[in-house]
Amino acid sequence: MKPVIFGLSGPVLTPDERAFFAEARPAGYILFKRNVVDRAQLRALSDSLRDLEGRSDVAILVDQEGGRVARLGPPEWPAFPAGPAFDALYEKAPISAIEAARANATALGLMLSEVGITVDCLPLLDVARAETTEAITSRAYGCEPKRVAAMGRATLEGLAAGGVVGVVKHMPGHGRAIVDTHYHLPTVTASEAELEDDLAPFRALAGAPMGMTSHIIFEAWDKERPATLSPIVIEDVIRRRIGFDGLLMTDDIDMKALSGTPGEKAAGAIAAGCDLVLDCWARMPEMIEIAGRLGEIAPRSRERLDAAMACVPPAAGDFAALIAKRDALLAVAAA
């Protein structure tokens, strides 16, 4: 097994993809709108990945946060709210906001598990600020660490109840970035003391099964390398200070915040201490390069992957009732 998660080019596996994946044996797959048509198609696609791997616990990921980040959407699936909706409710009724976040995430989990998706890249534990890039503020749970942690915990619990593994992101925090890592490399100049606020939600949820790195330079820890490529940030900050021992994957390795070829970036992330590389775009030459640069998944990384995929119970819950509960609670914020 290679320590990489690959994307797919369309709504069905192509013959070239099937042959390549069978040889490369990636640790998992990630789906996007280009892979999604309807329930029957999506279930058939996820089943084809399980058949290819010969096991039922394949990590099949999606970014289904709600709001602007949603790969499954209307008319086939309902729209879901993003983090700021729960933040607004928390201002008036904190306990209700936590319950709404949990109900929302359980409904998300049920929706995803129905079509065979096993991992959702949620929750964001980034602590937003006035200067934070809109790429994060439009999705975050707010600007207060305890609030972010509380709703993040409820979301993780809700996803698990719905039969899906959650991923805390973007470690060790994206809230101080003022530019979007899809296009630029942010540099954070905050001191170690100031960065304690950013670490706090991740520390509170250090037992999460999966986490995702951020492509950001934190000068307080490593002036040269972004977190994804920094053994200092990964080992000293994420593993030791935060105490996270779950499966750590990169954010999309193709983002412009990182420089180098896909293979160079992937190899650098694994060398720095990431368990898995996330490569989203299904470009065959790039996937071949990445697979060629990576060896077998490390034994400890495989243990973390297996533990994460085994930690979620079977899905249970009433989707319609959960949506109704969430909406009734969120209505308080609009009153």
d(CA 85, CA 88): 5
| Residues 295, 25: Cα–Cα separation, whole Å | 11
Which secondary structure element, helix H or strand E, spans residue 187, and what is its range? strand 187-188
Q: Show which residues are catalytic.
A: 182, 251
**CA separation for the pair 181, 199 (Å, rounded):** 19
User: How big is the chain by its Cα radius of gyration, in Å?
Assistant: 19
Q: Residue 69 and residue 3: Cα distance in Å, rounded?
A: 25
CA angle 311/317/319 to nearest 5° reads 120
Cβ(94)–Cβ(88) below 8 Å: no
- CA dist 308 and 197 (Å) reads 27
Among residues 285, 245, 253, 282, the alpha carbon closest in space to that of 269 is found at 253
| Residue 292 vs residues 24, 26, 88, 210, 285: alpha-carbon distances, Å | 9, 12, 47, 25, 11
